[in-house]
Amino acid sequence: MELARTPEPPYYAVVFTSVLSLDDEGYHEAADRMFELVRGTPGFLGFDSVRDEDRVGITVAYFASEEAISVWREQPEHVVTRGNGRERWYDAFEVRVARVERAYRKGRG
């Protein structure tokens, strides 16, 4: 597995934590579609995403600017899918928008 490769800060991180409902019909296809779709957003820098066997997930998506986040938030198919997530797929979630100020890493150049 590879971690996201992001440029030097500053940039933005959208931290999405969630608990997936047992009623997750259609969720995985929709999630895959969103990962595909976000790649086409200008200013999108990458993401890391993990879900464990307790159905808790964390996805962190990185964007160059607040403007890039706005474009993604208003993407029409994303708006519809987000509504499904809120209504059906998630028992709980939280979205945090944060400005990355510094970063350190190990394991690649």
Binding site for its own copies (CB under 8 A): 1, 3-4, 6, 9, 13, 15, 17-19, 48-58, 60, 86, 90-108
Nearer to its own copies, 33 or 86 (CB): 86
Nearer to its own copies, 6 or 41 (CB): 6
Handedness of CA 82, 88, 89, 92 (dihedral sign): positive
Cα–Cα distance, 9 to 103 (Å, whole number): 7
Nearer to its own copies, 79 or 98 (CB): 98
Cα–Cα distance, 6 to 67 (Å, whole number): 17
Cα–Cα distance, 62 to 4 (Å, whole number): 9
Q: What's the min distance (Å) between Cβ of 64 and its own copies?
A: 14
